[in-house]
Amino acid sequence: MEPLKIVVRYQDGKIIKGVTSNFNQNRPIFHIKSNDQDAAAKPIEINIQDLKAIFFVKDFDGNSSYEERNEFIEGERPQGRKIEVRFNDGEVIVGSTVGFDPKRKGFFVFPVDNQCNNMRIFIISEAVKEAKFI
């Protein structure tokens, strides 16, 4: 499996950018090789229950001047159901999901704007204040 570029956001605000080859939404831990680590260093073990979300990204820099669209365009037909997620810290993400179940550890959301840097986001259910279909 080719390593995936991810940005890990903890519920306490901490952020780690790096790559992973063993993320599995059904397992409690995975490993990330941080961009800040020496090449010979061992990957960091990540406990999913400590996280807010895992952002699967196109690149680590993104485009700070890009204004991400957070509303669906009339007639747009995303994969799955349209959803709005409000995190405990107030952040809101709008997108679509095919596997939302609040009883699970988490669920994937595909951002409404497919031109943004995030390809998909794995959201940890404990970090969610409210999730509603729109």
Residue 67 backbone phi and psi in degrees, to 5: -100, 105
Q: Would you say domain 4-60+68-133 falls under CATH 3.40.720.10?
A: no
Quick one: which H or E segment has residue 55? strand 51-57
Residue 11 backbone phi and psi in degrees, to 5: -65, -25
Distance, CA of 74 to chain centre: 25
Question: Which amino acid type is present at position 113?
Answer: D
The pLDDT value recorded for residue 39 is 80
**Which parts of the chain sit beneath pLDDT 50?**
none
Domain edges within the chain: 4-60+68-133
- Return the structure tokens found at 105: 């550890």
The pLDDT value recorded for residue 116 is 95
The pLDDT value recorded for residue 99 is 84
pTM: 0.94
Question: Which amino acid type is present at position 131?
Answer: A
The pLDDT value recorded for residue 64 is 86
